[in-house]
Copies of this chain bind each other. A is one copy, B any other.
């Protein structure tokens, strides 16, 4: 593990009131003026690559930090730190989600006064992370093209609770029978207010539109406008 990465073994608070912990965390973030984005997806959808692309697009405007969650390993945090970005690895030791107290433990290891935006890369999982409010200001999820357009039918909660959907790996579309219109209809039925962006974290395609939306959300938050709880 490189010296640039801090590793924290997080523990779930037994019987903790997560909704209350999330609200306390949101108040702390509002006071610190730090925007927290909760990024969720299945394993291998391209969360880390998307984070790097997003920060590249916006690092002239905002100061970024990253919390990386994983059952095990520190590979993602090392990849982020290699780009000169403050990164903390949260090792969940078997838990398949992050809750607000775990995120708060991770934020303790960052200097929030020096950061405008912290992106939390949640555990790769389409089930459990959807059930826990992390205290984030906004949430986004990634669905990659090879995973298929039927996922909203099978994991409806994730698509329902997220503010933005990034359809990643659109560079695979040519080889795939992925039906973008069918996906969009299924998602909008669950969540009419969701923002949908087609991107390729590999080529950078579509990243400007997504980054522009995120930039607007962060700016509104930092100027105290339109702060509302995570979720549409």
CB within 8 A of A154: which of B42, B75, B127?
B75
Q: Are B153 and A73 in contact (CB under 8 A)?
A: yes
Q: Are B125 and A96 in contact (CB under 8 A)?
A: yes
Q: A42-B43, A126-B43 are in contact. Are A75 and B150 (CB under 8 A)?
A: yes
> Which one of A58-66, A99-107, A167-175 contacts B?
A167-175
CB of A231 closer than 8 Å to a CB of B: no
CB of A192 closer than 8 Å to a CB of B: no
Q: How many copies does the complex hold?
A: 2
Residues from chain B with a CB closer than 8 A to the CB of A146 are 44, 144-147, 169, 172
Q: Mark out the residues of chain A between 118 and 141 whose CB falls within 8 Å of any chain B CB in the assembled complex.
A: 123-128, 131
Q: A128-B96, A146-B146 are in contact. Are A43 and B155 (CB under 8 A)?
A: yes
Residues from chain B with a CB closer than 8 A to the CB of A96 are 96, 125, 127-128
Residues from chain B with a CB closer than 8 A to the CB of A42 are 42-44, 124
Residues from chain B with a CB closer than 8 A to the CB of A94 are 127, 131
Residues from chain B with a CB closer than 8 A to the CB of A124 are 42, 126, 154-155
Q: Are A44 and B175 in contact (CB under 8 A)?
A: no
Residues from chain B with a CB closer than 8 A to the CB of A76 are 154
Q: Are A72 and B156 in contact (CB under 8 A)?
A: yes
CB of A116 closer than 8 Å to a CB of B: no
The complex places the Cα of A72 from the Cα of B160 at a distance, in Å, of 14
Residues in chain A within 8 A of chain B (CB atoms) = 42-45, 70-73, 75-76, 94, 96, 123-128, 131, 144-148, 150-151, 153-157, 169, 171-172, 175
